[in-house]
């Protein structure tokens, strides 16, 4: 979950690398560093600094215009704290070789012991430093950085994306990957390497995906990929469809706010082309799946897990197939029973979340069919799945997931409708009516966003609260879980989501005079509307300050009422979550927190 970038070409490498790091900083921001090949066979220029990228930028006195190749890293600390010493790049004793790394080298302790015996000195507490010394050792005999990298990778256990440069061959960057992302950006007489395409979309739309255990050697005019034994490999090429401007803030104070406001378009893009003129659902990407399934299991983490919890209600009701939802990180460590009649759906914005990836592999080992609902084209999880449904939400830069979530829910709903259509578990009329409801969502989200100012002002009034509780039932319950997660990660406040029916089984003890409670109410037609109203009475009677989110069918007396447009109950979270996103955003701003880069977090969790 670090960001990695490399550049080789005729332009000054430092500015390209820093620009790439700026776009990748969402992946980790504990420290940042660069290494540049400035002079043939002389020590590399290296600068690294704890803290955000700006600290490094402030250190860089010169633009080192002579350097035509360079690598840069933005870190989310795993082994060793966020200090200057532990920041990447790590350098060989000669200073001529530099390595950056994303992932975890599991056998670094034994490698370090071996290398120390060989006389190498370590300057950091990281697992990565073993790699640079090992590479240096292999380079002594091979005198070829790519060959040395292949030998090193054969000795590494764990997950890694590695980039290395050596001043003996200053125009060459060598990369390698296992269980961690690496893409190549193909420019005109220049090439890029990066953790994801956002690092270079301003310069090229042509890219290559690297597979597992592959080593890539990049110069300004050539890209050569091999496996770990030097056999040539043809990497998969793809065109980047994301617009370069979509990775900019575009006048918004934060990426998160911009992404909240992009939700109507993101949902439209997820829905685009999914209903034909007769109202039939079209998902040709699922044609390879055998839909004679008797169980669906959704695996995901964090907000994507909430998308699964919400999607389950519609998926099960429409397809008439039992649906379970499990945290990917928990699934891996038990002995589940799966078969070829189980469809495992993984949900992931990044497509790189290690827990989800490992759960996917485990599910495949157990014989299940796999479908990934993902936003990032060409990432590992969709690549390793039998089928993929891309959500097309566009790049999500803020660490807090917003538009990715709404489009994941819509994606699961579309998959549910498609299965129902294939199995005839819904009539054509029912599918048409649901298609109309789904298609109306972008305008309804837009409507919420047009009237969001009073909510922002109200939120600021809760700035001093120490704890906020979230309440919902049915699909409103996972929506409440999401509301609480957003507030935790952004406002650093205690926040918890509860199912209304569970209140009396314990959580109601948390309510005291003035406790803010955000309650999500279903439409009046729901069988739980009355029960939710009773739950609100129970907490009001105990002093809760209730903020209710409800459509106009609901009549309720609460101090704060946020109206959302009407839709059917199953789809309501796509609307009710929006005010909770805004609440968390505004609270973070009011409390002076870093909205786009909340403390201790990173966008893409590529370590276990
Ligand atoms: O990239 P993924 O969707 O797999 O990420 C899963 C979670 O790490 C992610 O949703 C996380 O919980 C968000 N920061 C929440 O806003």
State residue 27's pLDDT score. Answer: 83
> Which atom of ligand 1 sits closest to the CA of residue 404?
3
User: In the annotation, is 117 catalytic?
Assistant: no
Q: Which pLDDT tens digit goes with each residue over 496-544?
A: 999 999 988 988 899 999 999 999 999 999 999 999 999 999 999 999 9
pLDDT beyond 80 at 41: yes
145 near 166, Cβ under 8 Å? yes
Least confident of 67-81, 149-163, 297-311, 507-521: 67-81
Crossing angle (nearest 10°) for helices 573-590 and 476-491: 20
Q: How close is the Cα of 603 to the center of ligand 1, in Å?
A: 7
Q: Which pLDDT tens digit goes with each residue over 457-478?
A: 999 999 999 999 999 999 999 9
The rounded distance, in Å, linking the Cα atoms of 247 and 326 is 32
Q: For CA atoms 372, 378, 379, 384, give the dihedral sign.
A: positive
The rounded distance, in Å, linking the Cα atoms of 435 and 274 is 9
The percentage of the chain sitting over the pLDDT mark of 70, rounded to a whole number, equals: 99
Residue 49 CB contacts under 8 Å (≥ 6 apart), including other chains: 31, 32, 33, 55, 56, 59, 84, 87
* CB distance 400 to ligand 1 below 6 Å: yes
383 near 350, Cβ under 8 Å? no
The rounded distance, in Å, linking the Cα atoms of 56 and 41 is 25
Tokens of 407: 């489009």
State residue 97's pLDDT score. Answer: 97
Mean pLDDT across the stretch 552-557? Answer: 95
Q: How close is the Cα of 69 to the center of ligand 1, in Å?
A: 33
The rounded distance, in Å, linking the Cα atoms of 530 and 524 is 8
pLDDT band at 64 (very low <50, low <70, confident <90, very high): confident
* CB distance 604 to ligand 1 below 6 Å: yes
The strand pair at 545-550 and 516-520 is best described as: parallel
pLDDT beyond 80 at 246: no
The rounded distance, in Å, linking the Cα atoms of 163 and 142 is 18
- Domains by residue range for the chain, with CATH: 3-246 (3.60.20.10), 249-439 (3.40.50.10490), 451-595 (3.40.50.10490)
Residue 94 CB contacts under 8 Å (≥ 6 apart), including other chains: 43, 136
State residue 164's pLDDT score. Answer: 98
- Please report which helix (H) or strand (E) contains residue 525, including its range: none
The rounded distance, in Å, linking the Cα atoms of 483 and 517 is 11
DSSP class of 290: -
**What's the pTM?**
0.82
Angle at 305 between CA 428 and CA 529, to 5 degrees: 60
pLDDT band at 249 (very low <50, low <70, confident <90, very high): confident
The rounded distance, in Å, linking the Cα atoms of 545 and 559 is 7
State residue 81's pLDDT score. Answer: 86
pLDDT band at 55 (very low <50, low <70, confident <90, very high): very high
Q: Which pLDDT tens digit goes with each residue over 361-400?
A: 999 999 999 999 999 887 889 999 999 999 999 889 899 9
Q: Which of 301, 412, 484, 487 to mutate to test the pocket of ligand 1 (most atoms within 8 A of CB)?
A: 301
State residue 488's pLDDT score. Answer: 97
User: In the annotation, is 540 catalytic?
Assistant: no
First to last CA, the chain: 10
**How far are the Cα atoms of 214, 262, 383, 388, 579 from residue 379, in angstroms, in the given order?**
15, 22, 6, 11, 31
Q: Hey, how many other C-beta atoms are within 10 angstroms of the C-beta on 418?
A: 24
| H helix runs in 233-377, sequence order | 255-261, 263-271, 302-319, 328-331, 354-365
The rounded distance, in Å, linking the Cα atoms of 31 and 547 is 39
* CB distance 349 to ligand 1 below 6 Å: yes
State residue 195's pLDDT score. Answer: 92
Three-state secondary structure call for residue 384:
coil
* CB distance 581 to ligand 1 below 6 Å: no
* CB distance 301 to ligand 1 below 6 Å: yes
- Please report which helix (H) or strand (E) contains residue 503, including its range: none
Q: How close is the Cα of 305 to the center of ligand 1, in Å?
A: 8
* CB distance 348 to ligand 1 below 6 Å: yes
Q: Which pLDDT tens digit goes with each residue over 232-244?
A: 999 989 988 777 6
């Amino acid at each position: 979950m670090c960001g990695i970038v490399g550049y080789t070409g005729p332009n000054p490498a430092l500015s390209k690398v820093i620009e790439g790091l700026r776009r990748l900083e969402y992946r980790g921001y504990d420290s940042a560093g660069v290494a540049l090949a400035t002079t043939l066979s002389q020590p590399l220029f290296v600068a690294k600094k704890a803290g955000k990228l700006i600290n490094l930028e402030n250190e860089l006195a010169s633009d080192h215009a002579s350097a035509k190749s360079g690598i840069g890293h933005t870190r989310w600390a795993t082994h060793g704290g966020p200090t200057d010493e532990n920041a990447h790049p790590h350098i060989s004793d000669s200073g001529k070789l530099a390595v950056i790394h994303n992932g975890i080298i599991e056998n670094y302790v034994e490698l370090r012991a071996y290398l120390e015996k060989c006389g190498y000195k370590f300057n950091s507490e990281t697992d990565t430093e073993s790699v640079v010394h090992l590479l240096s050792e292999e380079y002594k005999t091979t005198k070829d950085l790519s060959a040395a990298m292949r030998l090193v990778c054969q000795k590494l256990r764990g997950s890694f994306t590695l980039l290395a440069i050596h001043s003996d061959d200053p125009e060459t960057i060598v990369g390698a990957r296992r269980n961690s992302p690496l893409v190549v950006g193909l420019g005109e007489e220049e090439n890029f390497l990066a953790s994801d395409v956002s690092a270079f979309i301003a310069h090229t739309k042509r890219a290559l995906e690297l597979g597992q255990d592959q080593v890539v050697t990049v110069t300004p005019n050539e890209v050569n990929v091999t496996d770990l034994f030097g056999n040539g490999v043809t990497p998969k090429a793809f065109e980047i469809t994301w617009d370069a401007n979509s990775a900019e803030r575009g006048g918004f104070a934060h990426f998160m706010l911009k992404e909240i406001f992009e939700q109507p378009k993101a949902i439209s893009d997820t829905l685009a082309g999914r209903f034909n003129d007769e109202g039939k659902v079209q998902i040709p990407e699922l044609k390879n799946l055998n839909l004679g399934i008797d169980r669906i299991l959704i695996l995901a983490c964090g907000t994507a897990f909430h998308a699964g919890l919400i999607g389950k209600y519609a998926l099960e009701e429409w397809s008439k197939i039992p649906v379970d939802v499990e945290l990917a990180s928990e699934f891996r460590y038990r002995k589940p029973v799966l078969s070829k009649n189980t469809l495992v759906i993984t949900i992931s914005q990044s497509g790189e979340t290690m827990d989800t990836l490992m759960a996917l592999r485990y599910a495949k080992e157990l014989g299940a069919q796999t479908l990934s609902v993902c936003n990032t084209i060409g990432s590992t999880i969709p690549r390793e799945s039998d089928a993929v449904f891309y959500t097309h939400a566009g790049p999500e830069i803020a660490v807090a997931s917003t538009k990715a979530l709404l489009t994941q829910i819509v994606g699961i709903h579309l998959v549910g409708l498609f299965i129902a259509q294939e199995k005839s578990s819904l009539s054509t009329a029912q599918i048409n009516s649901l298609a109309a409801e789904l298609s109306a969502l972008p305008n309804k989200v837009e409507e919420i966003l047009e009237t969001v100012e009073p909510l922002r002002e109200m939120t600021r009034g809760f700035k001093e609260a120490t704890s906020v509780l979230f309440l919902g039932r049915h699909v409103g319950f996972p929506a409440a879980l999401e509301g609480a997660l957003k507030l935790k990660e952004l406002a650093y406040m205690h926040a918890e989501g509860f199912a209304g029916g569970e209140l009396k089984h314990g959580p109601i003890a948390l309510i005291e005079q003035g406790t803010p409670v955000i309650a999500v109410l279903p439409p009046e037609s729901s069988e739980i509307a009355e029960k939710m109203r009773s739950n609100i009475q129970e907490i009001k009677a105990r002093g809760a300050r209730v903020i209710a989110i409800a459509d106009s069918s609901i009549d309720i007396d609460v101090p704060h009422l946020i109206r959302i447009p009407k839709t059917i109950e199953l789809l309501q979270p796509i609307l009710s979550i929006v005010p909770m996103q805004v609440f968390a955003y505004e609270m973070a701003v009011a409390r002076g927190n870093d909205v786009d880069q909340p403390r201790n977090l990173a966008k893409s969790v590529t370590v276990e």
